[in-house]
Amino acid sequence: MNPKKILVVDDEVDLVETVRFPLEMEGYHVLVSYNGEDALNQARKENPDLILLDLMLPKLDGYKVCRLLKFDERYKHIPILMLTAKTQEKDKVLGLETGADEYITKPFEMDYLMEKVKAYLSK
């Protein structure tokens, strides 16, 4: 069986690396994007099994990326977990309104993230 494909999107290279590494150790195939536009293109081209998406991104923000994918019949099945430094209640509501499956605020527990990823991939 092919390994599951996960797209990690964040403009902070260090953060991407600290997320990519444990995911690869778990045996996932990890794709990365450092801006919203590239994330959207990769998602459409690679059709990943799950996306970890930051909100404040260059070129196209995470809300828009999420909306464009979630309102598209072809991609709306892909679980999107938002990882963001925006902690206000209204940001969270906005995030979930755009169709995100989870809203996880930074900093987060690595174990928690890994569990969430596993749970969504086995659904």
List residues near another protein by CB under 8 A: 12, 14-15, 18-19, 21-22, 25, 83, 85-87, 89-90, 105-111
Nearest to 9 by CA among 44, 49, 38: 38
Shortest distance in whole angstroms from residue 76 CB to another protein: 28
Q: Considering beta carbons, is residue 110 or 119 the nearer one to another protein? A: 110
Task: Give the list of residues 6+ apart from residue 110 with CB closer than 8 angstroms, or none.
Answer: 22
Shortest distance in whole angstroms from residue 103 CB to another protein: 14
Q: Considering beta carbons, is residue 85 or 119 the nearer one to another protein? A: 85
Vertex 20: Cα angle to 30 and 39 (nearest 5): 55
